[in-house]
Amino acid sequence: MSKTIVIKLGTSTLTHGSKSLSRPHMLEIVKQIATLHQQGRRIVVVSSGAVAAGRDYLNHRELPKTLASKQLLAAVGQSQLIQVWESLFSIYNIKIGQMLLTRADIENKEHFLNARDTLTALLDQQIIPIINENDAVATAEFRIGDNDNLSALVAILAEAEQLYLLTDQTAMFDSDPRKNPNAKRLAIVEKITPEIHQMAGGSGTAQGTGGMATKVLAAEIATRSGVETLIASGDHPNVIVALAQGAEIGTRFLAQSDKIEGRKQWLFGAAPVGDIVIDRGAETALVSQYKSLLPAGITQVKGQFARGEVVKILNENAKLLALGITRYNSEALNLIKGKKSSEIERLLGYEFGSVALHRDEMIIHHQ
């Protein structure tokens, strides 16, 4: 499987310090992404800049300082932003797809799975997803809050190996380099401690919403789920390609756990809500061969549960074999249990893939 990289671009990077989107600078970014794309890397872009694009499009007209005004700017600016990305990527004959997310899309398991499936489908077709928070409709309650945080959640969704947070700072330092000329760059952060959070300080530029503090918070979410995170300057020459090649620039936050296990720790916060009983053949495939669970191996479904919930997988003697996230709800599983995967669509009228539970979304219970 080729490497998946999530690249988060802050407003200050996209405007290049001005009040408008800098197309020449954005083209430079696209050129670098195209290089990695041509090498077979799977790239996801989390792009800020909708509000800045909206202000520019409306010629910086005075608006009341309300949430509705910000949402208006986001609504106007998002289409402008995506048009710019589309025109620049088309130079390299690369197709893009837009995804707008809110916190509800991440926290609700059904939404999480749908978002992940869409993201995977885009990447499988070599289409670059351009993701932003859905600011036009997100209320305070449903806001993720900043695109640093969003990019960390997207890195988990995309099952990425790396997350690049590009900013107007060259790296993270042990104190604020704007105030202290002797501030030292932190090249590698092995673990994010309270001291690291303290060093990160407060917010950033007038144009953006997040400073180093939000980036370190995002790095903590991502690294806990097994995603290595790098903070670097969007102005560094060829920064994206350089980071992908392992250049000693910016600050590298090391992943805290094995990727799949880390993702499972994040996903398996919920208590099991039902049981799936499987036959001996499926038990061997699951426990000895680490394979996914197919509907054909299911003999019984106990309890009522939704797609995306955690269930127990038991053998015919009621022994716990595994915990897993189900791709179908209990009603659907009752209809397809014991049946071949090729029959799923005919029986249900739809399908979420050929497996009932995927091996990447299971923890095998070793006794």
Annotated binding site for ATP: 8, 167-168, 209-215
Residue 67 gets which letter from DSSP? H
- Is the separation of the CB atoms in 49 and 71 below 8 Å? no
Count of other CB atoms within 10 angstroms of residue 264? 20
Q: Which amino acid appears at position 110 of this protein? A: E
**163: exposed, middle or buried (C-beta count within 10 Å: 0-12, 13-18, 19+)?**
buried
- Enumerate residues 6+ apart whose C-beta is below 8 A from 348: 328, 332, 335, 336
Residues annotated within the binding site for substrate are 48, 135, 147
Residues annotated within the binding site are 8, 48, 135, 147, 167-168, 209-215
- Enumerate residues 6+ apart whose C-beta is below 8 A from 284: none
Q: Which residue in 80, 95, 116 sits closest to 30, CA to CA?
A: 95
- Is the separation of the CB atoms in 229 and 162 below 8 Å? yes
Per-residue burial over 96-117, b if 16 or more Cβ lie within 10 Å, else e, is bbbbbbbbebbeebebbbebbe
CA 158: distance to chain centroid? 5
Count of other CB atoms within 10 angstroms of residue 19? 11
